[in-house]
Amino acid sequence: MVFAPDVVEALGAAAELVNSAIEPDSLTTIAQLQALFDDWGYTGSRPRTSRELEAVRAVRPRLRELLVADRDTAVELINAILAEQQAIPQLVRHDHLDWHIHAISPDRPMHERTLVETAMAMVDVVRADEMRRLQLCAAQDCDGVVLDLSRNRSRRFCSTTCGNRSAQAAFRARRART
Ligand SMILES: [Zn+2]
Ligand SMILES: [Zn+2]
């Protein structure tokens, strides 16, 4: 495996959050935010107010910038987040995860936790020099972020919808030529 399980989870959560901003926006209700919180196994206080929803929605552009940054820019963004949030790395063990690092307390608001957890996961991506694991979706007119953890780095689309759409477009193009 390329990254530790907690890093994989943090990157997956960040990519899903970033891609939720693609129109039609799929993070507009507290229920959607809570589903994301539950799906990605966040610990700590579960978000339940529209203020928390707005705060999470508002960090999406910053997460996006970080996920698709080049390596040196990513370092600047990571360091800025960790300093601003006064991150303190601590080893913790909970649920199904063996010892891993949390750099922010679980009682902090979800948007701050997401920022720090994404930054900490990106520390590993930078150190392993695996920036290519994060790409923009290959489908035309899609700004989705693709997290590719496959062995042969074969993932090109952010969703099956984008993959199907591109396959159909290629098929039509081939047929038009014959
Ligand atoms: Zn954890
Ligand atoms: Zn896409």
The answer to whether the beta carbons of residues 169 and 140 sit under 8 Å apart is yes
pLDDT in tens, 19-74: 999 989 999 999 999 999 999 988 888 999 999 999 999 999 999 999 999 999 99
175 CA → ligand 1 middle, Å: 50
Ligand lying closest to the C-alpha of residue 143: 2
Could you give the CA distance from residue 159 to residue 19 in angstroms, rounded to a whole number?
Answer: 10
55 CA → ligand 1 middle, Å: 21
Compute the half-sphere exposure of residue 38: CA atoms within 13 Å on the CB side of its CA: 7
Identify the residue whose tokens are 């809570």.
34
pTM: 0.92
Q: Which residues are close to ligand 2, an ion, with C-beta < 5 A?
A: 137, 139, 142, 144, 158, 162
Q: Which amino acid is at 147?
A: L
Amino acid 127: pLDDT: 97
74 CA → ligand 1 middle, Å: 22
Query: Mapping DSSP to helix (H, G, I), strand (E, B) and coil, where does residue 109 land?
Result: coil
Mean pLDDT computed over every residue of the chain = 94
